[in-house]
Structure 1
C-alpha cells in the first residue's frame, strides 16, 4: 500500500513539474463534439490583439486576427531567429483565422513549444504586416 502511495505522489509531482515547464503558453480547454474527450490548446496573444494557437492535435498553428477579415497568406515564420518555410490555408467558415502548416510537423512543433519569440510577415493582398509573439 505504501508503494502505491509513493507512486501516486511521484506521478502527481511529475505532472505539476511538467505543467510548470509548459507554462510559457496559455491554456484553453475544449470538449469534443461528443463530449467524451477534453482537448487542450495552447495560445499566445500579442499586443495588437492577435492570437496564435498551437494545435498539437492536427500539428499546426492557427493565426487569428479579428480586425482584418481579408484573405491572408503566410510563407515563412521565424522561430527564435530561425526561418521555417510554411504554407497557409484560410478557414472558409472563419475568415479571421488562418492555419499555418509546416512540412516537418513534429520537429517544428517542438521548436514552437520551446520558442521564446515567433515572428512572421502576413500578406493581405498587396499590404504586408509583421506579427510578433513573445513567449516567456
Structure 2
C-alpha cells in the first residue's frame, strides 16, 4: 500500500513540475466566433509595453506595438541567442499587429515555448529598433 502512495505522490509531483515549466508564458483565453470552443493564447509583455503572442493554432508569433502604427518588417529573431529566419506580415485591420511566421513551424514553436529570451530587430522604414522579451 505504501508503494501505491509513493507512485501517486511521484505522479502528482511530476505533473506539478511540468505545469510550472509551462507557466513561463502568461495565458489569455478567448472564445471562438460561434462560442463553442475556448482558445488559449500565450503571451509576454516587455518593459516597453510591447506584446508578443504565441499563437499555437496558426503556428505563428504576433508582435504588437501600439505606439508604432506604420508598416514594420521583421526578418529574423533570436531565440536564446540562436538566429531563426522569419517572415513578417502586418495585419491590414490592426496596424499595430504584425504576424511572424517561420518555415519549420513545429520545431520553432517548441523552441519558443521553452525559450528564456527572445530578441528581434524591427525595421520601421529605415529606422531599426530591438525588442527583447524575457521569459521567466
TM over 0.5: yes
**Residue in structure 2 matched with residue 34 of structure 1 by the alignment:** 34
| 1:19 shift after superposition | 2.6
SS in 2 for 1:133: strand
Gap regions ≥5 residues in structure 2: 1-7
**Residue in structure 2 matched with residue 90 of structure 1 by the alignment:** 90
Q: Is residue 122 from structure 1 mapped to residue 117 from structure 2 by the alignment?
A: no
SS in 1 for 2:86: strand
Q: Is residue 22 from structure 1 mapped to residue 47 from structure 2 by the alignment?
A: no
Q: For residues 67 and 19 of structure 1, what CA distance do their matches in structure 2 show?
A: 34
> How many residues are treated as equivalent by the alignment?
128
Q: For residues 63 and 102 of structure 2, what CA distance do their matches in structure 1 show?
A: 14
**Residue in structure 1 matched with residue 53 of structure 2 by the alignment:** 53
Q: Which runs of 4+ in 1 moved over 3 A?
A: 12-18
After superposition, give the CA deviation of every residue in 1:16-45 in whole Å (9 maximum; x if it has no partner).
544322110000000000000000000000
SS in 2 for 1:123: strand
**Residue in structure 1 matched with residue 81 of structure 2 by the alignment:** 81
Q: For residues 34 and 83 of structure 2, what CA distance do their matches in structure 1 show?
A: 39
Query: Greater CA deviation, 86-95 or 18-27?
Result: 18-27
Q: For residues 92 and 134 of structure 2, what CA distance do their matches in structure 1 show?
A: 28
After superposition, give the CA deviation of every residue in 1:56-79 in whole Å (9 maximum; x if it has no partner).
000000000000001000000000
CA RMSD of aligned residues (A): 1.7
**Residue in structure 2 matched with residue 62 of structure 1 by the alignment:** 62
